[in-house]
Amino acid sequence: MAVVNSVLGPLETSDLGFTLTHEHITTGSAGFRFTYPELSNRQRVQQVAVDILTQARKEGVDTIVDCTPMDLDRDVTLIQAVSKASGINIICATGSHLYVPHDFYQTMFEWMDPIPADTVADLWVREIEVGIEETGIRAGIIKVATNDPIRPPEELMLRAAARTHLRTGVLITTHTPHTSRVGLDQIRILREEGVDMSKVYIGHVNSTLDHDYHKRMMDQGVWLGMDHFSPSGPPTTPDWRARTAFIRDLIDDGYEDRIMLSHDWNVKGVASGDPVASMGEGMPDGYLWITRGVLPYMRELGVSDGAVNKLMIHNPRNFFEETGR
């Protein structure tokens, strides 16, 4: 058993329960909630998130991993308030999404040297060991994202994530683009930095249904996040039934121990009243779509309750038990 940082303090992995491994409470542009507070709807977002997650808790969700780093306008005090009021464990992230700060890597002025990966790691280690923005709330996962192909600023972030992990033992979760096979390149860079692949979660891979690609990654020891799930899904990507059947095939091939499920959803659209971006025709069940839609269909396809419990309970727990130096 290991202990993970949650927004309410240390959390034993035995208490994770049914876990959604890649979600968000809200996202935005870095600093918007300070500069343009009228656009953030912060109070409304908080209340909506509490209401939705309280219902999710009633229907069996115990923990979510909020993969919102600084450049997506992470708001850790809001996340903490939502966790406390809803009863849902929330693990928050350090790291970077695709909007790498210019102070880390200056793309406009090519003669300026990027910040060293070790210097970025110093900042992220502080968010894990001391706290984020002087709140004392400590990150429990390292988020990093790339395009395909991986751009130089994103490679810098991958290497900084690796060095942060090696210094803290906190695990790494990644973002990959739709219909991409860039997870293999992410693995290569992290491996060059000396990261044990059992400490790595490659995310969003169920937008690319390629058995060879997925098996090549899992055979190297990583965990896969089948964490793009919604009733409609992004245009030109597989629908949720095809994604679910694909997971069934991987389970049949013996890979049920390396797979986790999530939505990659947030409540901001609900709070703003946007019916398509939120709970309307696009995502009526929010954080409960997997519970209400995906898992029943998976069982119809012949997946056992034991395998479902691995995907939603045992695998997240086993992944986070890799936390440590």
Domain boundaries, the chain: 3-320
Q: What is the separation of C-alpha 256 from the centre of its chain, rounded to a whole number of angstroms?
A: 19
Q: Please, which pLDDT band fits residue 275 given cuts at 50, 70 and 90?
A: very low
Share of the chain above pLDDT 90, in %: 85
Selection from 206-215, 227-236, 276-285 with the highest mean pLDDT: 206-215
How far apart, in whole angstroms, are the C-alpha atoms of residue 230 and residue 222? 24
The yes/no answer on whether domain 3-320 falls in CATH 3.20.20.140 is: yes
The reported pLDDT for the residue numbered 279 is 42
CA distances from 223 to 90, 184, 203, 245 (A): 20, 12, 9, 19
How far apart, in whole angstroms, are the C-alpha atoms of residue 128 and residue 132? 8
55-100, pLDDT tens digit by residue? Answer: 999 999 999 999 999 999 999 999 999 999 999 999 999 999 999 9
Measured from the Cβ of residue 296, the count of other Cβ atoms closer than 10 Å reads 13
Omega prior to 275 cis, within 30 of 0: no
What is this structure's pTM? Answer: 0.96
What's the whole-number average pLDDT of the chain?
94
For 10, left (φ over 0), alpha (ψ -120 to 50), or beta?
A: beta
CA distances from 103 to 28, 94, 123, 174, 299 (A): 19, 17, 13, 22, 49
Whether the predicted pLDDT of 277 surpasses 60: no
185-197, pLDDT tens digit by residue? Answer: 999 999 999 999 9
The reported pLDDT for the residue numbered 282 is 72
Whether the predicted pLDDT of 123 surpasses 60: yes
